[in-house]
Amino acid sequence: MDNLQTAPSTLPESSVSRRRTPEAGPGRSQWDLALCLSHLRWDFVYQRPQHLMSRLAAKMPVVYVEEPVPTDSAPWLEQRHAMPGLTIAVPRLAPEHCAVGSVAGAAEQRRMIDGLLAERGVDRPLLWYYTPMALAYSDHLEADLVVYDCMDELSAFRFAPPDLLERERQLLEKSDVVFTGGRSLYEAKRQRHSNVHAFPSGVDVAHFARARESGSDPADQQPLPRPRIGYYGVIDERLDYPLIAAAASLRPAYQWIFVGPLAKVDPAELPRAPNLHFLGPKPYSQLPDYLGGWDVAMMPFALNESTAYISPTKTPEYLAGARPVISTPIEDVIRGYGASGLVSVAQDADGFVRAADAWLERPLATPEFVTRAAPLLAPMSWDGVFAGMQEQIRRVRAAVPSFGAAASASA
């Protein structure tokens, strides 16, 4: 990764410990392999890890390690190529060893990762963590750089492992640099590490701009009458189901559309009404087609522990598609978009439907919407996010001749 090799340092020498760094000759990558350790399936929802790891894979080989899945055979490590330079690795373990906290399962995964690195002749990979729980099988690895990309406050999610906070403390001690998925999350982490940087998720404007074009509706959305208020994303404990049910009841002529996979929520928990439509998961490539068929986009998030630090990626995506947005009062949404005039913030179902009424009665013409959204979206490309992360990695590497885990700022 030649463009990670030099940059002026702005870090104090005390912020990094001293470990040997392999030499990177002309034309060589700085590291032989990046090992990305994630709690998210690569094929689940195309989001932050996929955008960033696909770009990293253009610089150096990447192995994206998922959580284990059961097998009836002997334990083995499934590997498949997702794209040039990127391999998905899935530990296949006995069912009883797949549970979080399984000592035997962690030992098997440790053996598999050691074998993978040995096969590739890699001693010190770049480690890129999305979940602190991966330390159970990776805490022994020597690395010349450790990145913790903290995209969510996982400890606040439903069914979070009880030792997640302790694992995160350990990961913060091990990490050289910490990235956060939003400003609120940055403020929650910056006192716990000496090198934390806020990198809200980016947006592929060209991809979602397809929603501005008049195209054909997807088959399962086409029969639904207008007006349509739509949401896409994971359907989980972060949504406010009482608000959704009440809004649908208050405006029975509006169609409330939800696109995305169900996670950690029983289907029986979902509200039901003739004008509520749960269309299931769709490929990332099709999201602009669904968005293009909506009159207004929505983010009906609950206000609870799991949403206290979220910075929804879909906000800029909706705006790139020239769709006005209605959101509950999520802090990062208010900070980033509250003054734009393109996002309405509503506290409850009554406010939600009144905001929908207003957008339907006084819609912005697409050219005006695009003009007003452009300054917000211009600095938010995924290429820009990735480049900013690379810059921080360069600074860590340039801080001392050899480097390792950053010292935690907390006691």
Please compute Rg for the chain using Cα positions.
22
Instruction: Give the per-residue pLDDT at 152.
Output: 79
What mean pLDDT is predicted for residues 331-350? 95
Nearest to 85 by CA among 110, 108, 112, 57: 57
What mean pLDDT is predicted for residues 219-226? 98
Confidence of residue 5 (pLDDT cuts 50, 70, 90): very low
CATH 3.40.50.2000 segments of the chain:
2-202+381-399, 205-379
- Whole-number Cα distances in Å, 96 to 101, 105, 262: 11, 8, 24
Higher pLDDT, 352 or 6: 352
- Whole-number Cα distances in Å, 59 to 25, 35, 62, 103, 116: 15, 13, 9, 35, 20
Higher pLDDT, 406 or 259: 259
Instruction: Give the per-residue pLDDT at 28.
Output: 36
Separation CA 155–CA 203 (nearest Å): 26
- Whole-number Cα distances in Å, 386 to 8, 56, 153, 381: 18, 8, 21, 9
User: What does the DSSP assignment read for 308-375?
Assistant: TT---THHHHHHHTT--EEE---HHHHHHHTTSSSEEE-SSHHHHHHHHHHHHHSPPPHHHHHHHHHH
Instruction: Give the per-residue pLDDT at 9.
Output: 30
Spatial contact of 191 and 169, defined as CB atoms under 8 Å apart: no
What mean pLDDT is predicted for residues 283-306? 96
Spatial contact of 230 and 291, defined as CB atoms under 8 Å apart: yes
Instruction: Give the per-residue pLDDT at 29.
Output: 44
Asked if pLDDT for residue 294 goes beyond 50, the answer is yes
Higher pLDDT, 148 or 408: 148
Confidence of residue 264 (pLDDT cuts 50, 70, 90): confident
Confidence of residue 158 (pLDDT cuts 50, 70, 90): low
Percent of the chain with pLDDT over 90: 79
SS3 category, 126: strand
Could you give the angle at which helices 349-361 and 241-250 cross, rounded to 10 degrees? 50
Asked if pLDDT for residue 128 goes beyond 60, the answer is yes
Q: What is the CATH number of domain 205-379?
A: 3.40.50.2000
Asked if pLDDT for residue 157 goes beyond 80, the answer is no
Higher pLDDT, 31 or 61: 61
Confidence of residue 170 (pLDDT cuts 50, 70, 90): very high
What mean pLDDT is predicted for residues 354-361? 98
Q: What is the CATH number of domain 2-202+381-399?
A: 3.40.50.2000
Instruction: Classify residue 101 as left (phi > 0), alpha (psi -120 to 50) or beta.
Output: left
Give every CB contact of residue 372 below 8 A, 6+ residues apart in sequence. Answer: 340, 341, 342, 364
DSSP bridge pairs for 198: 180
Spatial contact of 297 and 244, defined as CB atoms under 8 Å apart: no
| Cα end-to-end distance, the chain, whole Å | 34
Instruction: Give the per-residue pLDDT at 159.
Output: 63
Confidence of residue 153 (pLDDT cuts 50, 70, 90): confident
Instruction: Give the per-residue pLDDT at 156.
Output: 65
DSSP state of 235: B
Asked if pLDDT for residue 15 goes beyond 60, the answer is no
Amino acid letter for position 302: A
Give every CB contact of residue 157 below 8 A, 6+ residues apart in sequence. Answer: 237, 264, 306
Tens digit of pLDDT for each residue in 16-56?
332 333 344 333 345 689 999 999 999 999 999 999 999 99
Nearest to 392 by CA among 25, 11, 51, 1: 11
Asked if pLDDT for residue 107 goes beyond 80, the answer is yes
Instruction: Give the per-residue pLDDT at 11.
Output: 33
Instruction: Give the per-residue pLDDT at 406.
Output: 36
User: What does the DSSP assignment read for 88-120?
Assistant: EEEEEE-GGGSSTT-HHHHHHHHHHHHHHHHHH
Separation CA 296–CA 360 (nearest Å): 8
pLDDT, the chain, mean: 88
Spatial contact of 89 and 65, defined as CB atoms under 8 Å apart: yes
Instruction: Give the per-residue pLDDT at 162.
Output: 80
Instruction: Give the per-residue pLDDT at 163.
Output: 82
Spatial contact of 86 and 64, defined as CB atoms under 8 Å apart: yes
Instruction: Indicate yes or no: pTM above 0.75.
Output: yes
